[in-house]
Amino acid sequence: MRTKETFAVYVFDTTTDALAMEAWCREHGVPGRLIPLPQEISAGCGLAFRMTPQDDEKYRSALEASGRKFAGVHSVQQFVLRDQGEERKRDDYS
Amino acid sequence: MIYFDNAATSFPKPPETKEALLAALESLGNPGRGAYMAALAADRTLYRVRKQLADLFHAEDPSRIAFAQNTTQALNTAICGILNPEDHVITTMAEHNSVLRPLYRLEQQGVELTIVPVDTAGRIDMAAMERAVRKNTRAIVVTHASNVTGNVTDLREVSRIAQAHGLLLIVDAAQTAGILPIDVQSQHIDILCFPGHKGLCGPQGTGGIYVRRGLSLRPLLVGGSGVHSFDREHPKEMPTALEAGTQNAHGIAGLGGGLSFLSRVGMGAVRAREEALARRFYLGVRDIPGVTLYGDFGAWEGAEGHCERVATVSLNIGDLDSAETADLLSEQHGIAVRAGAHCAPLMHKALGTGARGMARFSFSYFNTEAEIDAGILAVGKIAEAVRI
């Protein structure tokens, strides 16, 4: 069934920054994953990093303190086909 | 993973590519920098692959082919090496940023630029191209096939315009080298820019540029050449003129493997198979409610008077953002496609997809019918879920 959920989507100036974010999150057990850049944020190509709003709230200050470079964080509604439990699991690779 | 992103880079690579690359890592020295066994082996490898490329594109002789790390480098070399302030240049809305951005930069330095429009199916307006010619027009830069729609450009007509008005013809063969027959002499192509890692089945970091005999370019880079070391100027002779610094001999050896694969199977057979697969996909998705396709598919409908196509099909599903479509395909179906603008912003503006891009499916000889059918099924499932 068509459902939309809200995610916190981090965007970056460069792909290198996106990969640095992923590496840092993996290292520190922060859940989330790389996704294609949602076109509503910016037209074009690239990678973004998304996590649940709850995780964003929990880890944002640590991320900011870590010196990770990101150009912004957007609240984006994204289409999910699975139930929330599975979606949560998919986004949580830690 | 089911890989449908061959317009970005071909995957998997044929066994010839892997074997040649591995053998090169174990045997090659620096090409042009010594006369001992390993250095000569590298020199001979470069020469052999140069010859293979010259034969493939019907160049006058192997020296007209210089290696480059990718099509972008080749296009920058061509565009920046030939145009001067106050020259006028014509290009099209079908172009990739590797053509547009060098031209925009030159525009700031006094080069005049005309960008010819495309129609709603992404076809280049050839009449507008000819009307755009001015007294100071120096060149036409055009893609051989769109990396967004898969439409193949009518090079015969572009070439006619270029010849009729004495213009240089620079062709971006990123989507066609190794796929469509290219004969630079009979097609009157002055400069051809091509990747090694797409249709030619080589590793990334390879590609090249053909420059017609009698034409010389200002190189982007100058430096080590292995010859004329006491001259203050970099040698002007092709291919050395455009090959400053140590060449990617290992990668080029792999590219030679890719070319051997194409010879073994036959370019025509490779092309026929990947086009059949792409057409199978097109026919499978075109009638799914909610699917929008972009490009001129007349040829695959068996209609007359339509452009040829490469094995690329771009689409959107319902009102989904192309990035979400690509993500659902990847996460739920293990299918790799490219979302977004594909670095061709003007084509998306022309087709009205500037805001959400497209999901691009691009196929290869190595895909199977079963993979195509899985792709069709996945598109159908997503389209159905979006409708509910």
With b for 16 or more beta-carbon neighbours within 10 A and e for fewer, the B99-123 pattern comes to bbbbbeebeeeebbbbbbebeebbb
Residue pointed to by tokens 């809305």: B93
Give the model confidence (pLDDT) of B87-96 as tens digits.
999 999 999 9
Give the model confidence (pLDDT) of B217-234 as tens digits.
999 999 988 788 888 888
**Cβ B323–A36 below 8 Å, yes or no?**
yes
**Cβ A81–B328 below 8 Å, yes or no?**
yes
Amino acid identity at B93: M
Structure tokens at B68: 């480059």
Whole-angstrom distance, CA of residue B59 vs CA of residue B64 = 7
Residue in B with minimal Cα distance to A42: B355
Q: What is the mean pLDDT of residues B129-149?
A: 98
B171 touches B191 (CB < 8 A): yes
Quick check: pTM over 0.95? no
Q: What are phi and psi of B316, to 5 degrees?
A: -130, 155
For chain A, state the CA radius of gyration.
13
Whole-angstrom distance, CA of residue B261 vs CA of residue B311 = 19
Domain A3-90 is classified in which CATH homologous superfamily?
A: YebC, transcriptional regulation domain (3.30.70.980)
Mean of all residue pLDDT scores within chain B: 96
At residue A81, the pLDDT reads 64
Check pLDDT > 80 for residue B131: yes
CATH class label, B267-387? alpha beta
Chain A residue numbers touching B348 (CB-CB < 8 A): 43
Whole-angstrom distance, CA of residue B213 vs CA of residue B54 = 12
Q: Which of B96, B321, B386 to mutate to test the interface with A (most CBs of A within 10 A)?
A: B321
**What SS3 state is found at B210?**
strand
Q: How confident is the model at residue A92 (pLDDT cuts 50, 70, 90)?
A: very low
Q: How far is B150 from chain A (nearest CA, A)?
A: 18
Strand order in the sheet with B137-143: B65-67, B207-211, B191-195, B168-172, B137-143, B88-92, B112-116
Q: How confident is the model at residue B335 (pLDDT cuts 50, 70, 90)?
A: very high
The H-or-E segment that residue B194 falls in is: strand B191-195
**Cβ B321–A44 below 8 Å, yes or no?**
no
At residue B337, the pLDDT reads 98
Give the model confidence (pLDDT) of A17-76 as tens digits.
888 899 999 999 999 999 999 988 887 668 999 999 999 999 999 999 998 888 999 999
What does CATH list as the number for B15-264? Answer: 3.40.640.10
The residue extents of the domains of chain B are 15-264, 267-387
Q: Which of B322, B327, B328 to mutate to test the interface with A (most CBs of A within 10 A)?
A: B327
Helices B369-387 and B267-285 cross at an angle (nearest 10°) of: 20
Check pLDDT > 90 for residue B210: yes
Chain A residue numbers touching B384 (CB-CB < 8 A): none
DSSP one-letter code for B32: T
Q: How confident is the model at residue A82 (pLDDT cuts 50, 70, 90)?
A: low
Adjacent-strand bridge partners of B169: B140
pLDDT over 70 percentage in chain B: 100
Amino acid identity at B72: T
B33 touches B172 (CB < 8 A): no
Residue in B with minimal Cα distance to A91: B331
Is B197 near chain A, with CB under 8 Å?
no
Q: How confident is the model at residue B367 (pLDDT cuts 50, 70, 90)?
A: very high
Residues 6+ apart with CB under 8 A from B47: B62
At residue B225, the pLDDT reads 82
Is B321 near chain A, with CB under 8 Å?
yes
Whole-angstrom distance, CA of residue B69 vs CA of residue B357 = 28
This complex has an ipTM of 0.73
The residue extents of the domains of chain A are 3-90
Q: Which of A3, A37, A45, A49 to mutate to test the interface with B (most CBs of B within 10 A)?
A: A45
